[in-house]
Each structure stands twice: as structure tokens, then as C-alpha cells.
Structure 1
Amino acid sequence: MSRSTDPGHFFQTDASESTRARKAAKSGNTNGNPIVLQSKILDVIPDPFSPACIYIAESAGCARNVNVESRDSKTVFKGPTAPVTSVAIGGQGGATVFAGCWDKDIWSWDRETRTPGRKYKGHSDFVKAIIFARVDGKDLLISGGADSKIIVWDIATGDRLHTLRDKTDTMMALQDLVLDPEESTDSEIVLISSSSDPHIRRWRINLTSASQILEAAPVAPLQGQPTRDTILEHETSVYRLLFSGDDEDSDLWTASADGTAKCLSRARNWTTEETYEHGDYVRAIALTTDWVITAGRDENVKVWDRVTGKLWHVYEGHYEEVTGLVVLEGDKKVVSVSIDGTIRTWGLGKADLEKARKEREEELKGVVKEEKAKSKKSLLTAEEEAELAELMDSDED
């Protein structure tokens, strides 16, 4: 006997039915010129070899290269039968595509031929994040999993060089990994990790050793006062980490389930310099010289003035949670991806944003007028309107 998967065939609360109806109505919009795929998009990174392309990780069990200008999405890296959660480009000359997967493995393919390569096995739960690094001329892959482990791999041999966990063994599922561009050198890297707890941790890694960095106290400690073991500036899970640049003044930017994105100051020992109140789980953050862009569970892409910290504009179009952001074309556009299966592109030029703001203002004015018209019309019932019409007719007589 066949079984329906249509949610309309099952018991629905009023709230869930309302949400489903809203998303169904919103799904047909063309805001952001959507490229529509057939599965949820769980991660996105820029293509280092093309300013018009991105790599995405899909729940259908593949990685994909997409040209957002030509809208070509036919370059697909296949193999996994479980969702792909993360994607990275690395290896000699960036020749390899890597993908972290729910099947606990990291898959790889030749970037040009899409031929499957080595699989990296070692995690005991979902692989959540992967990044590429190079130390003393050796290509490394670093992965973080739902098993709370960070594993450093020798890409060429597949050997595990290091396995890292919090010294208190309290670290929860890894969410993101990023390299510190200032403190990393040719012979040693400093890795920053975030997880499903609010703690941000730092790690010092070279080819022969790896260890957790204990944080200095945010202010001069009193005698006998312990140092901080972690960076603790959020209330709950930290989903994304991002450095603001490659120079010595680069700060750490974060996106959290506590509804905020933050700038953590390097000069002030990673304490909060700026806070952006997005309002719901913040899954993604991106930066340009002028803007801070945040997105997440509320489906919106918010653009903030980086100088004043004020919200400049809200781009609406996605109808499910936004999972990633990438800035392209020299800070002129931001690309957003979502579990709604769409890739959308939004302008970041001043002219683009001004046009978008005016269009939104006109749209809101139209909604207000429509609501007022409905309100006036609904003051009388059909019977009352008929009675009023009859009275008016009698007055004319």
C-alpha cells in the first residue's frame, strides 16, 4: 500500500498549517533571480578560480559548481548517498574538491574531471565543517564533526596527523572552522572553531604537534584568577566564523543561534566590539568594505551599514532558512543559499540598494492601502450593506 508524503494529508496544527500556506505562497517569488535546484543547499563557498561561480553542498548527496551569471549548474560531483554538509577546495594547485558528509566520511574528486578520489575516514558522526591548510609545504585538510572531534589530515596520504578535542571534553558538535590570517605562518597555523555550545576555541597546529590555546582574561586578571579557556561572547551555538581581512587588524566575526552577529576585537582580546541584532538564528555572515550581511532562520538577508551599525535594507525572497552567504564581483553582489533549494543574488552597490529600498517602500505603501480598503469594506456585513442601500433608496424617494 502506498503512503502519502503530502503534509496536507496529515494532522496539522493551526500554526504549522499557516506556516506551510505562507511558504507555499512565497515559494513562487522571483526576488534575487533564483536558480532553483532539487534539494536543500547546506553550504556554499566561492570558487577560487572564477569570480562568477560558487561551490555548494546539497542534501541530495552531491557537491556542485554553479555559475550565477550564466546560471549553469550542470557541474556535479557525485558519489555520496547521504547529505553533503560542507565543501572545500584544496590540494596541489586547488585541484581537488572535498565534501564533508552525513555518512561520517570526507569525499574528494578531481576538480576538472570530477573523478572520485580518496575518502577520508575517521569521524564517528556527521562531518560538519572542512577547510584546507598548508603547513611546511604539506597540504592539509581539517575537519570538524558532530562527534566533537577536529581531525587534521595529510591530503596526499590520507593519514590522520592530529585529533583534537576540548581539554575538558565538553566540546559539542562542531559547526565551523576558520584559520587566523594574522597568527598563522608557513610552519604553524592557528585554527578557530565554533560548536553547538557558545564557546569559541583556538588551536595551534603544526606537523608534529597540536594543542588548544587558552585565552587570556579579557581584563588584567587578579592574582590567582584563572585565564579564560575559551572565547565566550555568545549565549548559545555559534554557526559561522569569519575574519574581516588578511591584515594584522583583522577581527573575528561570528553568527549565532542567540539571534546576533558580532565583531570580536583582536585588539581587545576577542571581546565584543559590535553587535548586530538580526532577531532569529543567524546562520550566515558576509562582509564588504561598506556592509555587514547576515541571514538565517527568518529567511531574510539583512544588509547593515558597517560604519554606523544600522540596518540599511532587508532582502526578502527565500521561503526557508538561509544557510550560507558569499560575496562576489568585487563586493558588488552577495549570493545566498537556502534549504528551500534556491540560489539568489542581491545587489550591494549603493544604487542597487537604494532602488531596492524604494521598491520595498512602494510595496509597503500598496499593502497599507489595500489593508485600509479591506478594513473599510469590512465595517459592514453584507446584510448591513443591503439594509443601508435600501435606506438610501428610500431617502431618494
Structure 2
Amino acid sequence: MRKGTSSEHFFESDAVQAQRERRAAKAGNKNGNPIALKSKLLAAIRDPSSPSALLIAESTGSVRRVNVDTGDSKQVYRGPSTPVTCVAVGGPGNRSVFAGSWDKDIWSWDALSKTPGRKYSGHTDFVKAVVCARIGGKDCLISGGADKKIIVWDVETGFRLHTIQDQTVSMMAVQHLTIDPVLSGPDAAVLVSASSDPHIRRWRVRLDGFEQIQEASPGEPDAVRPTILEHDTTVYRLAFDTEGEETDLWTASGDGTAKGLSRGRNFAPDDTIKHGDHVRAVALTDQWVITAGRDEDIKVWDRSSGNLYCTLEGHYDEVTDLVLLDGASRVVSISIDGTVRTWSLDARELDRVNKEKEDKAKGVEKETPAEPAERLMTAEEEAELAALMEED
């Protein structure tokens, strides 16, 4: 145990102290053009009203709109006094911002005016996930909590339509929710949920009821399984691959892997990415699989080969979410370190990053651009000389 007079040293192991010092030394880097905020950043979605803006859930109890191109972060949706863990946009005309909080409520605001709206109360523990859907002509809000419950709400009235819990396999805290873009229709939404247990569950939700979808067991046509079970521990994120023909489901897990589950094979894994530590987020393009998590790095994988193509280093604490922008030509990462970083996914830029790392490992110093030569004449004198030369 390290000793010292600083309060930071009390009850702190050498490993913890070393990690803190490493992060402090790394904090000043400018990789990814960081936008520094004064809170831990817990989740993010793309703002549908702007091609370059995010809505970010902050530990300070607010949702902040951040434009990654201009750096503007002044628009804030305030209300909760505890951390906000998740954010969604929906309601009539996609005019409402929703956020789940540690205070067990879901808060809402008008997206344009930031005026607080209805508050949805019903969970008995932290709200961890929110998603919006239109079911049977109604705008619905679906939330998941640490209380192991999924609640479906009528956005307009605040009425609780359904409380969903797994009756076959004990469900732990809900971590993420997403809507299946293929199987959902006007009358029913197919909801996919991830939780602190390794089970992934699917639900068909209607206004008048819901049912858990039983899964055909891969390789056993006559057998069913109550859940999709392909991970060893917590599943943190779910993402449907809209780039592929079959819209497969991708997952990010605490077991250190991200997996592509094939819809055509009853959600058996087709691809497994071994990130190496807790994977908190996964994003997909037609060329790349991008993963990030506790090891602080963003890893870009070649989809055709499954090989690691590039590691983007810059964050100095856990990465909590990834958001694609500009038709998937850029990815934005957020972190517990309080920074928002934007990375190009152009192969030439990734090659440049790899080359810089190779040169650094070999001890090759990066060339510093030469200082411009000192001007011997003023701009006016240069113009006058040019005029005289033209006359000659």
C-alpha cells in the first residue's frame, strides 16, 4: 500500500494509484478532437434534427446536446438531480426527448424549447434503458430498469400499458432495449432486451398485450429455447445491422466479445469479435465493426476478414457509447472521462493512424513542418514589385 499525505493515497493500492497516474498523464491528448464536458458521459444517441449533433446522458442529471463539428454544447435539458443513464427521442413528430434516471423516473422535454414535459413514474430502481415505438397508432415509450422490469407507456397520457417480466428464466437488471426493424409493424413492435444476465429476450408488444417470443434452437429444428443465450455474462448493447441483407443482431458483452447473431440461423453466432475486455458498445458499417469499452480504446475490425484493422487511442477512462454520423463515415465515442471524440472511418485515415504508431514504435520522429521564412517585404511592397515586373 502506497503512503502519502494526499487524501488520494488513503486506502489506495499501488495498482489503483498507478492507473490514476496513467490516466492523468494521458488526459491531455488531442486524439479524436475531444470536446471536454464537466461530467461522466453514460449514453448517447444521434440528434435526428442535425447530422452532426448528439444527445448525451450525463452523470450530472441532464441531457446535453453536443454538435461535434462546432463544439457547441450549451443546449441542456435539465430536471433530474441524479445521473441520467439513457436517452431517446420520440413522441408525436419526434418532438420529445426522454431520459431515464437514477431517481427511478423517466423525464421528458420538448426537443426545441427544452421545456420539461410529463414525468413517467413506475420503476422501483434505476432506469437503465429507454426506447420509443409507435404501436397500434399510439406513440409509446418503453423503459427498462434495475428493478428487472420493462414498462410500456402511452406517451400522451402517461398511462402504464404493460409491465413485462420473464416468467421462464429469471431476469436481472435491464441494460438495453432496441426495436427489431424487420419484424415490427403497425400493430405490434418486436422488442429485444439485454440484461445483466447473459440472456437476450424478444417480446411482441401490442396495445392489448404482449408475449415473449420463444426461440427455435439452432441446429435442433424441433427444439425451442426461451431466450437467446450466446454470451457468458452481461449483455450491454444491442444493435441491428441495417447494412446486411438479413439485418442480423449484434451484441456487446462483459465477456469481452461482440457477436453477430444470424437471423437466418435462429440468432446463432456468425461472427465473434474478441475485443479483450468488457465491451460496452458496438457500431456497424458495411465495411467495419467498431467496438469499445472498459479498456478505453475504440477498435475497428474488418468485416470481411474479422481481423483488427486499427485501434483508436485517446480516451483515458471507460468508453460507454458509440454513435455513427454522416452515413457511417465517422464514429463518435463518449466516455466516463467526460470527453466526446470524433473519428474518421475512412480507410486512408485509419492507415495513417497505423503508420504513425509503427513509426513511433520504431523510434521514428514525426517530422515537424518547417517554420515559414521571415518576410523580407510587406504585402504592399510585394504587390508593388509584382506590378513593376508586369510593366517590364
TM-score (norm 1): 0.89
Q: Is the 8 A contact 1:285 1:295 kept in 2?
A: yes
Quote the Cα distance in structure 1 between the aligned partners of 2:273 and 2:55: 27
Match status 1:289 vs 2:286: yes
Kindly provide the CA deviation profile for residues 337-385 of structure 1, in whole angstroms up to 9, marking residues without a partner as x: 00000000111011211111111211222299xxxxxxxxxxxxxxxxx
1:271 aligns to what?
268
Quote the Cα distance in structure 2 between the aligned partners of 1:146 and 1:37: 27
1:344 aligns to what?
341
Quote the Cα distance in structure 1 between the aligned partners of 2:364 and 2:124: 52
Quote the Cα distance in structure 2 between the aligned partners of 1:143 and 1:317: 32
1:388 aligns to what?
none
Quote the Cα distance in structure 2 between the aligned partners of 1:8 and 1:367: 37
Equivalent of 2:251 in 249, 254, 259: 254
Quote the Cα distance in structure 2 between the aligned partners of 1:246 and 1:158: 35
Quote the Cα distance in structure 2 between the aligned partners of 1:168 and 1:122: 23
Deviation larger for 246-255 or 191-200:
246-255
Quote the Cα distance in structure 1 between the aligned partners of 2:28 and 2:287: 31
Quote the Cα distance in structure 1 between the aligned partners of 2:236 and 2:347: 29
Equivalent of 1:236 in 233, 240, 255: 233
2:350 aligns to what?
353
Aligned-CA RMSD value: 1.6
Q: Structure 1 pair 288/34, CA: closer, same or farther in 2 (3 Å)? A: same
TM-fit CA distance, 1:168: 3.0
Q: Secondary structure at the match of 1:72?
A: coil
1:386 aligns to what?
none
Q: Is the 8 A contact 2:172 2:197 kept in 1?
A: yes
Q: Secondary structure at the match of 2:44?
A: strand
Structure 1 segments unaligned to the other structure (5+ residues): 1-5, 369-397
Q: Is the 8 A contact 2:9 2:17 kept in 1?
A: no
Deviation larger for 257-266 or 13-22:
13-22
Kindly provide the CA deviation profile for residues 141-175 of structure 1, in whole angstroms up to 9, marking residues without a partner as x: 00000000000000000000000000136100000
TM-fit CA distance, 1:9: 4.3
TM-fit CA distance, 1:247: 7.4
Quote the Cα distance in structure 1 between the aligned partners of 2:348 and 2:45: 26
TM-fit CA distance, 1:7: 5.0
Q: Is the 8 A contact 1:178 1:191 kept in 2?
A: yes
Q: Secondary structure at the match of 1:186?
A: coil
Q: Is the 8 A contact 1:177 1:191 kept in 2?
A: yes
Quote the Cα distance in structure 1 between the aligned partners of 2:7 and 2:85: 25
TM-fit CA distance, 1:177: 0.4
Match status 1:329 vs 2:340: no
Kindly provide the CA deviation profile for residues 276-308 of structure 1, in whole angstroms up to 9, marking residues without a partner as x: 000000000001111000000000000000111
Match status 1:313 vs 2:349: no
Quote the Cα distance in structure 1 between the aligned partners of 2:221 and 2:257: 28
TM-fit CA distance, 1:246: 7.7
Q: Is the 8 A contact 2:214 2:224 kept in 1?
A: yes
Runs of 4+ in 1 over 3 A off after TM superposition: none
2:182 aligns to what?
182
Q: Is the 8 A contact 2:243 2:285 kept in 1?
A: no
Write the letter of the residue equivalent to 2:82: A
1:154 aligns to what?
154
TM-fit CA distance, 1:136: 2.0
Q: Is the 8 A contact 1:205 1:211 kept in 2?
A: yes
Count of aligned pairs: 361
Q: Is the 8 A contact 1:87 1:99 kept in 2?
A: yes
1:42 aligns to what?
42
Quote the Cα distance in structure 2 between the aligned partners of 1:42 and 1:110: 21
Quote the Cα distance in structure 2 between the aligned partners of 1:258 and 1:169: 20
1:63 aligns to what?
63
Q: Is the 8 A contact 1:182 1:248 kept in 2?
A: no
1:22 aligns to what?
22
1:129 aligns to what?
129
Q: Structure 1 pair 360/246, CA: closer, same or farther in 2 (3 Å)? A: closer
Write the letter of the residue equivalent to 1:188: A
Q: Is the 8 A contact 1:141 1:152 kept in 2?
A: yes
Quote the Cα distance in structure 2 between the aligned partners of 1:295 and 1:139: 32
Q: Structure 1 pair 169/125, CA: closer, same or farther in 2 (3 Å)? A: farther
1:392 aligns to what?
none
Q: Is the 8 A contact 1:182 1:246 kept in 2?
A: no
Deviation larger for 164-173 or 202-211:
164-173
Write the letter of the residue equivalent to 2:47: D
Write the letter of the residue equivalent to 2:196: S
Quote the Cα distance in structure 2 between the aligned partners of 1:355 and 1:7: 42
Q: Secondary structure at the match of 1:354?
A: helix
Quote the Cα distance in structure 2 between the aligned partners of 1:157 and 1:44: 26
Deviation larger for 210-219 or 268-277:
210-219
Q: Secondary structure at the match of 2:171?
A: coil
Q: Is the 8 A contact 1:86 1:130 kept in 2?
A: yes
